[in-house]
């Protein structure tokens, strides 16, 4: 038979007659997407995404069913084709109901895989949980204590009873790791040869330095203060974040291979220009926002009027400023609350916080406000300060009640004085904590030639995704860019900047990322269909144990005591696992992102149509996510999958779907691995991860003698799932229930983890040295008497090399042929 000539996207190739365009394209290295195709199966309702343009044909043709004809000219990525594919995807998406990623992860400023680490905690794999956290946040001990818990605000569990205490769980694993001296510090990788300078040793700088070091760069942190930590050390008081804990966290970052240079101030000890001249290829500016905003109130400059950040900084340096008996704190930011609570602990009799708006608008964490109130801090809301006067030994504050203005053009209402409500109060010290901005005095220096552009509010301008400033090779992140925000945002800025620096150093363009499509059942609680939670039993969350207010105000010791292992296990098991277990295999999401489908979340289904069926021991059926590609049915070799669609519409998609696994099922799992969306997912997947985070390792199934090649999908030190490659002999992609679902025993909690020696009838944990020495001694005693007094059993579960070694051991070391295994059993 002569070959047929085919031209595809400009490439010419020759294929056998009877070849479909899809296979021919693959040969040419052109990948045509398909969601429904399975070799040698007739597809009743093709998905239609594999369409291509054939010269001379008016209509687009389906590559999975059209045979190559001699002289055919095919375009697989023309505008027309792309448009058609986008349309197919849009139609599928409009019938797809689910969450790609859990709302907690989406809300987290650092995008930590929260559902993933909660699942690891629930399995008792605390270090694995920590590893997931440290992928995005290298300061879990600190953040676990000071984060305002953005993630918890959209926790769906609120619709059942109350949200999960996610941040407390994060702190638990970080503490657990610290207590067990297993904080998962990876040794520094081989050097890339690049030198990067990080200016500022706060959360942004530490984060950038940590990730840059993990990439193999030689990183030096320049810090103006005597110690690293930035606002964590000099802005957050001891009772919220003990220095001992912070020091441990910083030590772990330095152990990743970061060099600290403390007491080196930008503009005093060096300039960016001098750094560049001394060989730093890239610079990260994480200088924070250390300048206190002025009040613009008469008397602000008087003695006895302090700045909040300065006050906390002195405390952080171990000094205790004198304040007198009465302190008034002005402002509504976290620093104001921290300052007030510090004063309480210093023995100040009367501490008030004066804020010009209501509690609802207060930027400080409301939990902290409530705790401060318990400690005796008085909050005076809707009150403005108009003047400070010196009166004998004390200060007199003139205040006025505030009210809200009529809305301005943008609809915002501002606090304005309510005439006639003027009042006065006395204080010994006034501490102003109304907000901060970056200290950019170093830019004024003549020596500094590198001056990034700055916004009018004093923050540095960077590209939204490139993190590069107006100066080439100078990147910035954290409070210096965004103004004073939370620790976790600064950490995220540092990490993303590190990634951008990596791209920059590898001389690749700092590109724009394609927007990842994230489906959600509802961004707001009111959008959510409550049917989703019908069968969830109520179970209130675990409470963080705290020291009683009357005790804790007497010292600076930590207030929150942390979860125990038991409470952490209980709490983590409350997670509803909102994110899709099929995330890593989802071709629908991948293609929708690749084809940049502009799909409005508002046009997706509003509520689920079908019950989710979890009766199968390994497979969850969620017809709400089914796109009717029929691959499940077509891949089943046992006639066990019943998929029917009724009332087909103009797009060729059914209005109603019925998807049932019948009693013929042998749980081989071919259907679930063939499903390109989340219609079928594996019950065992509790760690939703993106495909690019998975490491694939080909090995051999440990069960029967068939020797199927299996592919372990690994994340961290866990097997996420097992599947098989259709290319590999002897199983060519087929697996049985044990191969696909039976390997979870490797991480079973009952695995033996330590050598055990029996003493007086009981097993005791022992070191390898002790165990091996004991065996050697006993075996030698028996051998020296009669080598045939010993026998060895090898195993069909062990490798060839191990079987070989055991028989060699028995024959050469012991001197007996008493060696056998279980071949007969």
Partner 1 sequence: MTNPIADFKKADVILITGSNPTENHPVIALQMIKAVQENKTKLIVVDPREIEIAQYAEIRLRPKPGTDVAWLNGMMYVIIDEDLYDISYVADRTENFMAFKETVMRYNPEFVEQVTGIPAKDLISAARLYAKAGRGSIAYCMGITQHAFGTDNVKSIANLAMLCGNVGIKGGGVNPLRGQNNVQGACDMGALPNVLPGYQSISDQETVRKFEKVWGKKLPAKPGLAVTDMWPAILEKKIKGMYILGENPVVSDPNLKEVEAALKKLDFLVVQDIFMTETAKLANVVLPAASFAEKEGTFTNTERRVQRVRQGLDPLGDSRPDWKIICNLSEKMGMPMNYDTPEEIMEEIACLVPIYGGIHYERLNKNSLQWPCPNWEHPGTPYLHKDSFTRGKGLFQSVESILSDELPNEEYPFLLSTGRVLYHYNSGTMTRKVEGLNLIFPEVITEIHPLDAKNKGIADGSMVKITSRRGEITTRACLTKKSPEGIVFIPFHFGEAAANILTSDTLDPIARIPAFKVCAVSVEPV
| Closest to 450 (Cα-Cα) out of 199, 648, 796 | 199
If the CB atoms of residues 391 and 820 are measured against partner 1, the closer one turns out to be 820
Angle (nearest 5°) at CA 178 between 173 and 184: 80
Question: Contact between 760 and partner 1 (CB under 8 A)?
Answer: no
Among 141, 221, 498, 819, binds partner 1 (CB under 8 A): 819
Binding residue (CB under 8 A) for partner 1 from 745, 760, 761, 762: 745
Distance in angstroms (rounded) separating the CA atoms of residues 112 and 579: 13
Residue of 400, 568, 668, 685 interacting with partner 1 (CB under 8 A): 668
- 461 forms part of the interface with partner 1 (CB under 8 A): no
C-alpha 783/C-alpha 811 separation (Å) is 11
Which pairing describes strands 350-354 and 326-330: parallel, antiparallel, or unpaired? parallel
Q: Which of 2, 456, 602, 750 binds partner 1 (CB under 8 A)?
A: 750
Residue 289 Cβ, how far from partner 1 at the closest point, in Å? Answer: 42
Sign of CA dihedral 601, 606, 610, 611: positive
Q: Which is nearer to partner 1, 366 or 797 (CB)?
A: 797
State which residue, 660 or 774, has the beta carbon closest to partner 1: 774
Minimum CB separation of residue 714 from partner 1 in Å reads 5
Strands 429-432 and 305-307, bridge-based pairing: parallel
Opening angle at CA 189, ends 187 and 193, nearest 5: 140
Which of these segments, 342-350, 387-395, 600-608, 757-765, binds partner 1 (CB under 8 A)? Answer: 757-765
Cβ atoms of 389 and 395 closer than 8 Å: yes
- Provide the pairing of β-strand 4-8 with 11-15: antiparallel
User: Are 52 and 82 a contacting pair, CB within 8 Å?
Assistant: no
Q: What is the DSSP letter of 581?
A: T
Tell me if residue 584 falls in helix, strand or coil: helix
Per CB under 8 A, 742 contacts partner 1: yes
Stretch that binds partner 1, among 182-190, 441-449, 564-572, 756-764 (CB under 8 A): 756-764
In the chain the first and final C-alpha atoms are separated, in Å, by 53
- Per-residue contact flags (x/-) with partner 1 for residues 696 to 735, judged by CB under 8 A: -xxxxxxxxxxxxx--x-x--xxx---------xxx--xx
Q: Judged by CB under 8 A, which of 195, 243, 573, 738 binds partner 1?
A: 738
Give the integer Cα–Cα distance in Å for 683 and 611: 16
Instruction: Pick between residue 455 and residue 756 the one whose CB is nearest to partner 1.
Output: 756
Q: Cα separations (Å) of 236 from 145, 455, 558? A: 10, 27, 12
- Is the Cβ of residue 278 or residue 662 nearer to partner 1 in the bound state? 662
Site residue total, partner 1 (CB under 8 A):
104
Report CA torsion sign: 245, 246, 250, 253: positive
Asked if 761 touches partner 1 (CB under 8 A), the answer is: no
Can you tell me the distance from the alpha carbon of 24 to that of 73, in angstroms, rounded to the nearest whole number?
Answer: 12
CB of 513 or CB of 745, closer to partner 1: 745
In the complex, what is the shortest distance from the CB of residue 750 to partner 1, in angstroms, rounded to a whole number?
6
Q: Residue 69 is inside which H or E element, if any?
A: none
753: number of Cβ within 10 Å? 8
Of 318 and 761, nearer to partner 1 (C-beta) is 761
Binding mask 772-801 for partner 1 (x = CB under 8 A): xxxxx-xxx-x----xxxxxxxxxxxxxxx
| Residue 811 interacts with partner 1 (CB under 8 A): yes or no | yes
For partner 1, give the closer residue by CB, 39 or 407: 39
Question: Binding mask 580-619 vs partner 1 (x if CB under 8 A, - otherwise)?
Answer: -------------------------------------xx-
Q: Is 268 in the site for partner 1 (CB under 8 A)?
A: no
Instruction: Report yes or no: 557 and 547 within 8 Å, Cβ to Cβ.
Output: yes
* 111-115: Cβ within 8 A, 24+ apart: 111/136, 111/492, 112/136, 112/137, 112/151, 113/687, 113/688, 113/689, 114/151, 114/166, 115/575, 115/577, 115/578, 115/579, 115/688
Cβ neighbours for 240, distance < 8 A, ≥ 6 positions apart: 145, 146, 338, 368, 558, 559
808 contacts partner 1 (rule: CB under 8 A): yes
Q: Which stretch binds partner 1 (CB under 8 A): 337-345, 413-421, 545-553, 803-811?
A: 803-811
> Which CB atom, from 14 or from 703, has the smaller least distance to partner 1?
703
Q: Rounded CA gap, 130 and 359, in Å?
A: 35
Nearer to partner 1, 253 or 790 (CB): 790
Q: Does residue 756 interact with partner 1 by CB under 8 A?
A: yes
Query: Min. distance of Cβ 713 from partner 1 in angstroms?
Result: 9
Q: Identify which of residues 498 and 814 has a Cβ nearer to partner 1 in the complex.
A: 814
The smaller minimum CB distance to partner 1, of residues 56 and 726, is found at 726
* Binding of residue 666 to partner 1 (CB under 8 A): yes
Among residues 269 and 820, whose Cβ is nearest to partner 1?
820
Residue of 667, 674, 686, 723 interacting with partner 1 (CB under 8 A): 667
Dihedral (CA of 232, 233, 239, 241) sign = positive
State the binding string over 562-581 for partner 1 (x if CB under 8 A, else -).
--------------------
Shortest Å distance, C-beta 697 to partner 1:
4
Diameter of the chain by CA atoms? 110
The minimum distance between CB 688 and partner 1, in angstroms, equals: 19
Nearer CB in complex with partner 1: 192/613 = 613
User: 660 or 805, CB closer to partner 1?
Assistant: 805
Residue 419 binds partner 1, judged by CB under 8 A: no
Interface region with partner 1, contact rule CB under 8 A, candidates 222-230, 260-268, 584-592, 663-671: 663-671
- Indicate the Cα dihedral angle 229, 231, 234, 236, nearest 10°: -110
Whether the CB-CB separation of 452 and 458 falls below 8 Å is answered with no
| Site track 622-651 with partner 1 (rule: CB under 8 A), x = hit | ---------------x--------------
| Residue 41 makes contact with partner 1 by CB under 8 A | no
SS3 391: strand
């Amino acid at each position: 038979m002569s070959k047929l000539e085919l031209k595809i996207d400009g490439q010419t190739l020759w294929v056998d007659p009877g070849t479909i365009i899809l296979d021919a394209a693959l040969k040419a290295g052109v990948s045509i997407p398909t969601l429904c195709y399975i070799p040698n199966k007739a597809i009743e309702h093709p998905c239609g995404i594999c369409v291509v343009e054939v010269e001379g044909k008016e209509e687009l043709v389906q590559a999975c069913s059209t045979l190559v004809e001699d002289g055919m000219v095919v375009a697989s990525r023309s505008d027309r084709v792309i448009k058609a594919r986008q349309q197919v995807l849009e139609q599928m998406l409009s019938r797809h109901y689910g969450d790609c990623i859990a709302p907690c992860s989406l809300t987290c400023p650092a995008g930590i895989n929260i559902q993933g680490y909660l699942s690891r905690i629930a399995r008792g794999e605390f270090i694995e949980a920590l590893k997931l956290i440290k992928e995005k946040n290298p300061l879990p001990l600190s953040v676990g204590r000071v984060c305002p818990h953005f993630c918890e605000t959209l926790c769906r569990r609120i619709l059942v009873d109350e949200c999960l205490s996610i941040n407390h769980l994060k702190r638990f694993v970080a503490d657990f790791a610290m207590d067990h001296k297993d904080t998962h510090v990876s040794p520094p990788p081989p050097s890339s040869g690049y030198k990067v300078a990080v200016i500022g040793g706060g959360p942004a700088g530490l984060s950038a330095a940590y990730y840059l070091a993990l990439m193999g760069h030689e990183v030096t942190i320049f810090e103006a203060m005597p110690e690293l930590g930035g606002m964590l050390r000099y802005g957050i008081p001891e009772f919220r974040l003990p220095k001992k804990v912070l020091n441990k966290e910083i030590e772990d970052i330095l152990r990743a291979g970061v060099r600290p240079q403390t007491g080196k101030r930008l503009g005093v000890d060096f300039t960016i220009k001098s750094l560049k001249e001394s060989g730093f290829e890239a610079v990260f500016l994480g200088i924070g926002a250390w300048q206190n905003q002025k009040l613009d109130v008469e008397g602000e400059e008087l003695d006895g009027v302090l700045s909040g950040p300065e006050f906390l900084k002195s405390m952080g340096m171990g000094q205790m400023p004198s304040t007198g008996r009465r302190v008034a704190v002005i402002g509504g930011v976290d620093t104001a609350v921290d300052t007030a609570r510090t004063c309480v602990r210093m023995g100040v009799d009367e501490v008030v916080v004066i804020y010009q708006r209501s509690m609802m608008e207060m930027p400080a964490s409301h939990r902290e406000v409530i705790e401060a109130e318990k400690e005796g801090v008085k909050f005076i809301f809707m009150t403005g300060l108009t003047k400070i006067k010196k009166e004998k030994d004390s200060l007199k504050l003139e205040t006025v009640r505030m009210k809200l203005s009529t809305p301005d053009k943008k609809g915002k209402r501002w606090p304005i004085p309510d005439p006639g409500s003027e009042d006065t109060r006395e204080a010994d010290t006034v501490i102003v904590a109304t907000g901060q901005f970056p200290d950019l005095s170093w830019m004024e220096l003549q020596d500094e030639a590198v001056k990034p552009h700055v916004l009018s509010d004093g923050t540095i301008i960077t590209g939204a995704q490139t993190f590069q400033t107006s100066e080439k090779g100078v990147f910035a992140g954290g409070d210096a860019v965004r103004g004073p925000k939370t620790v976790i945002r600064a950490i995220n800025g540092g990490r993303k900047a590190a990634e951008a620096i990596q791209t920059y150093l590898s001389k690749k363009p700092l590109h724009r990322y394609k927007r990842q499509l994230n489906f959600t059942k509802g961004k707001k609680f009111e959008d959510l269909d409550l049917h989703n939670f019908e069968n969830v039993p109520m179970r209130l969350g675990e409470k963080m144990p705290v020291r009683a207010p009357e005790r804790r105000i007497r010292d600076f010791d930590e207030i929150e005591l942390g979860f125990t292992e038991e409470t952490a296990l209980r709490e983590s098991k409350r997670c509803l696992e909102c994110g899709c277990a099929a995330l890593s295999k989802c071709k629908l999401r991948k293609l929708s992102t690749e084809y940049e489908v502009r799909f409005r979340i508002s046009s997706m289904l509003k509520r689920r149509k079908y019950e989710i069926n979890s009766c199968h021991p390994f497979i969850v059926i969620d017809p709400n996510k089914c796109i009717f590609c029929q691959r499940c049915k077509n891949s089943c070799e046992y006639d066990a999958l019943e998929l029917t669609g009724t009332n087909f519409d103009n797009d060729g998609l059914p209005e109603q779907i019925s998807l049932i696994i019948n009693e013929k099922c042998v749980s081989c799992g071919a259907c679930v691995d063939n499903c390109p969306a989340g219609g079928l997912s594996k019950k065992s997947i509790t760690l939703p991860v993106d495909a690019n985070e998975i490491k694939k390792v080909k090995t051999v199934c440990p069960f029967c003698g068939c020797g199927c090649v299996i592919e372990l999908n690994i994340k961290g030190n866990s097997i996420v799932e097992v599947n098989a490659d259709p290319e590999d002999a002897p199983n060519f992609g087929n697996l049985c229930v044990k191969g696909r679902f039976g390997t979870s025993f490797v991480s079973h909690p009952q695995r033996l983890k330590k050598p055990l020696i029996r003493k007086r009838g009981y097993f005791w944990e022992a070191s390898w040295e002790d165990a091996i020495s004991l065996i050697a001694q006993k075996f030698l005693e028996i051998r020296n008497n009669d080598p045939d007094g010993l026998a060895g059993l090898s195993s069909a579960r062990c490798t060839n090399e191990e079987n070989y070694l055991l028989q060699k051991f028995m024959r050469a070391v012991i001197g007996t042929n008493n060696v056998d295994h279980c071949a007969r059993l």
